[in-house]
């Protein structure tokens, strides 16, 4: 049923720019969060991981994330002295099969110091060190949702910022040539990291998630946005919905979009039922940076070969591996 465009027509998407839903202390909240992150010293460890490829070295990396959480990643470095451009990678929601090490290695083969962060609680040894004060629906979407201080994605966003700092601190990495990329949840983290860190010079987000929650709840035909719907079913107090939506506003990449200063590229398929096109355009249309969007009429929430080529080209030009 959802194989055909089900959201707004492209001509309307291109103009779709709902008002931001930022709370008055939106920026203050993030400054406060970043200050807290800054209080945790940058610390990481590398352990080589045998991998059947030449000209690249793979490491398991573990670093201290928000509030000191153990965050694992995979780092693949091209052979040679560098300096190499860095590429920070983020994975999709409830995913990262086997840590997606092949992708990480492939990026290194392209000439990047590529580092994938495994999201806390979702994969590997990445630890979600928040003890949430209330119950949630299965999944991560409603963990800590009654308070912006406690919400799950606060830690994740800060881990992402710290991941960039770790990457930038590596010997062979050229700090001035660092990009961020990922799809779905990884696309949201891409935009969030670009909004909250000044390290990246380019951000490439495929069908970003966590955008324009209020519409997503109403229009997404499938996918993890529904965890929010389920949470509201199980907790029917209207005040809870109000508080939850207030919390979500801090993490909505639409609200973070205007903070982004680096070159930003977004892709979206018009039959994407997981991250509806209008939610993606809502965020995109609030970007004030040098930006572009790649739209694919016949694709949903999936790998899009032509998007991949555009992204490769963009990174090539921006990061010059």
Q: Which residues are catalytic?
A: 184, 272, 301
Q: Please tell me the distance from the alpha carbon of residue 187 to that of residue 200, in angstroms, as a whole number.
A: 14
Residue 180, phi then psi, degrees to nearest 5: -130, 145
Nearer to a copy of itself, 75 or 260 (CB): 75
Q: In this structure, is the dihedral angle defined by the CA atoms of residues 171, 176, 182 and 186, taken in order, positive or negative? A: positive
- Residue 120 CA, distance from chain mean position: 13
Nearer to a copy of itself, 32 or 233 (CB): 233
Least CB distance to a copy of itself at residue 191 (A): 22
Of 171, 178, 214, 207, nearest to 191 by C-alpha is 207
Least CB distance to a copy of itself at residue 260 (A): 23
Least CB distance to a copy of itself at residue 251 (A): 18
Nearer to a copy of itself, 22 or 243 (CB): 243
Which residues make beta-bridge pairs with 48?
59
Q: Is residue 229 classed exposed, middle or buried when 0-12, 13-18 and 19+ CB atoms within 10 A define those classes?
A: middle
Nearer to a copy of itself, 4 or 11 (CB): 4
Least CB distance to a copy of itself at residue 118 (A): 6
What are the CA-CA distances from residue 244 to residues 152, 207, 249, 261 (Å)? 12, 24, 9, 29
Residue 8, phi then psi, degrees to nearest 5: -60, 155
């Amino acid at each position: 049923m959802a194989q055909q465009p089900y959201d707004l027509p492209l001509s309307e998407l291109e103009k779709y720019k709902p008002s931001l839903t930022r709370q008055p202390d939106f920026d203050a909240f993030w400054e406060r969060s970043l200050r807290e992150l800054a209080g945790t010293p940058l610390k990481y460890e590398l352990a080589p991981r045998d991998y059947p490829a030449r000209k690249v070295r793979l490491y398991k990396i573990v670093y201290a994330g928000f509030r000191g959480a153990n965050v694992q990643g995979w780092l693949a470095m091209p052979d040679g002295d560098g300096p190499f451009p860095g590429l920070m990678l983020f994975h999709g929601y409830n995913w990262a099969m086997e840590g997606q090490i092949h992708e990480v290695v492939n990026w290194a083969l392209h000439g990047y110091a590529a580092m994938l962060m495994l999201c806390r609680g979702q994969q590997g040894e990445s630890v979600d060190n928040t003890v949430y004060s209330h119950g949630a629906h299965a999944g991560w979407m409603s963990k800590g949702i009654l308070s912006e201080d406690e919400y799950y994605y606060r830690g994740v966003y800060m881990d992402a910022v710290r991941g960039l700092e770790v990457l930038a601190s590596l010997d062979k990495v050229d700090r001035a040539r660092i990009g961020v990329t990922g799809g779905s949840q990884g696309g949201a983290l891409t935009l969030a990291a670009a909004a909250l860190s000044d390290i990246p010079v380019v951000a490439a987000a495929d069908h970003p998630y966590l955008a324009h929650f209020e519409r997503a709840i109403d229009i997404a035909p499938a996918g993890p946005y529904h965890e929010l719907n389920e949470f509201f079913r199980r907790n029917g107090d209207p005040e809870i919905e109000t508080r939850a939506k207030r919390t979500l506003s801090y993490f909505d990449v639409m609200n973070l979009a205007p903070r982004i200063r680096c070159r930003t590229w977004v892709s979206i398929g018009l039959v994407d039922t997981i991250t509806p096109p209008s939610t993606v355009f809502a965020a995109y249309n609030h970007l004030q940076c040098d930006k572009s969007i790649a739209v694919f009429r016949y694709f949903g929430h999936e790998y899009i070969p032509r998007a991949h080529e555009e992204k490769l080209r963009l990174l090539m030009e921006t990061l010059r591996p």
